[in-house]
Amino acid sequence: MTVMPNWLDKRAYLTPHKEAIVLNDGSKYTFKQLQHDAKSYAAYLKRQGFNKGDHIALLSSNCYEFAVVIHAFHYIGAVAFLLNTRLTAPELLFQLKDGKVKGLIYHSKYKEVANTLSEQAHLQLITMSAPREEEITDYETEIDLDEVSHILYTSGTTGNPKGVQLTYGNHYWNASSSALNLGLHQDDRWLLSLPMFHVGGLSILYRSVIYGMPVHLHEKFDVEAIHRDIMERGVTIVSVVTLMLEQLMDRLGQEQYPNTFRCMLLGGGPAPKTLVEQCQNRKVPVFQTYGMTETASQFCTLDEDHMLAKIGSSGKPLFPGQLKVVENEDECPANTVGEIVVKGPNVTRGYWKREQANREDFQNGWFKTGDLGYLDDDGFLYVVDRRKDLIISGGENVYPAEIESVLKGHNDIQDAGVVGIQDDRWGEVPITFIVKKDQSLMEEDVINYATQQLAKYKVPKQVYFIDELPRNASRKLQRHKLLEFIKGEK
Q: Residue 3 or 308: which CB sits closer to a second copy?
A: 3
Using CB under 8 A as the binding rule, whether residue 316 contacts a second copy is answered as: yes
Number of residues that bind a second copy (CB under 8 A): 30
Q: Residue 270 or 344: which CB sits closer to a second copy?
A: 344
Using CB under 8 A as the binding rule, whether residue 4 contacts a second copy is answered as: yes
DSSP state of 428: E
Q: What is the contact mask toward a second copy in residues 352 to 391, using x (rule: CB under 8 A)?
A: -------------x-------------x------------
Distance CA 192, CA 249 (A): 18
Q: Residue 213 or 248: which CB sits closer to a second copy?
A: 213
Question: CA-based diameter of the chain, in Å?
Answer: 68
Q: How far is the CB of 130 from a second copy (least distance, A)?
A: 30
Q: Which of 322, 336, 363, 452 binds a second copy (CB under 8 A)?
A: 322
Q: Residue 64 or 190: which CB sits closer to a second copy?
A: 190
DSSP-assigned states of every residue in 304-323: GGGTTTTTT--BEE-TT-EE
Could you tell me which of 477, 409, 475 has the C-alpha nearest to residue 437?
Answer: 409
Compute the C-alpha angle 169/174/178, nearest 5°: 150
Distance CA 466, CA 432 (A): 10
Q: Residue 97 or 349: which CB sits closer to a second copy?
A: 349
Q: How far is the CB of 185 from a second copy (least distance, A)?
A: 6
Using CB under 8 A as the binding rule, whether residue 5 contacts a second copy is answered as: yes
Distance CA 382, CA 288 (A): 11
Q: How far is the CB of 184 from a second copy (least distance, A)?
A: 5
DSSP state of 197: T
Q: Residue 269 or 345: which CB sits closer to a second copy?
A: 345
Q: Residue 210 or 441: which CB sits closer to a second copy?
A: 210
Stretch that binds a second copy, among 10-18, 122-130, 242-250, 404-412 (CB under 8 A): 10-18
Q: Measured in whole angstroms, how far is the alpha carbon of residue 190 from the centre of its chain?
A: 17
The string over 174-213, giving b where at least 16 C-beta atoms fall within 10 Å of a residue's C-beta and e elsewhere, is bbbbbbebbeeeeebbbbbbbbbbbbbbbbbbbbbbbbbb
Using CB under 8 A as the binding rule, whether residue 320 contacts a second copy is answered as: yes
Burial of 343: CB neighbours in 10 Å, binned 0-12, 13-18, 19+: middle
Distance CA 376, CA 353 (A): 37
Q: What is the contact mask toward a second copy in residues 13 to 52, using x (rule: CB under 8 A)?
A: xx--------------------------------------
Interface with a second copy in residues 133-152 (CB under 8 A): 142
Q: How far is the CB of 35 from a second copy (least distance, A)?
A: 14
Stretch that binds a second copy, among 196-204, 263-271, 313-321, 434-442 (CB under 8 A): 313-321
Q: Residue 15 or 120: which CB sits closer to a second copy?
A: 15
Q: How far is the CB of 246 from a second copy (least distance, A)?
A: 27
Distance CA 254, CA 63 (A): 32
Distance CA 300, CA 218 (A): 25
Using CB under 8 A as the binding rule, whether residue 326 contacts a second copy is answered as: no
Q: How far is the CB of 146 from a second copy (least distance, A)?
A: 9
DSSP state of 131: -
Rg (CA), the chain: 23
Q: How far is the CB of 64 from a second copy (least distance, A)?
A: 23
Distance CA 159, CA 342 (A): 23
Q: How far is the CB of 15 from a second copy (least distance, A)?
A: 9
Distance CA 451, CA 27 (A): 37
Distance CA 159, CA 293 (A): 18
Burial of 60: CB neighbours in 10 Å, binned 0-12, 13-18, 19+: buried
Instruction: Answer for the pair 8, 71: CB distance below 8 angstroms, yes or no.
Output: yes
Q: What is the contact mask toward a second copy in residues 173 to 202, using x (rule: CB under 8 A)?
A: ---x--xx--xxxx----------------
Interface with a second copy in residues 211-270 (CB under 8 A): 211-212
Using CB under 8 A as the binding rule, whether residue 343 contacts a second copy is answered as: yes
Residues forming the site for a second copy (CB under 8 A):
2-5, 10-11, 13-14, 142, 169, 176, 179-180, 183-186, 210-212, 316, 319-322, 343-345, 365, 379
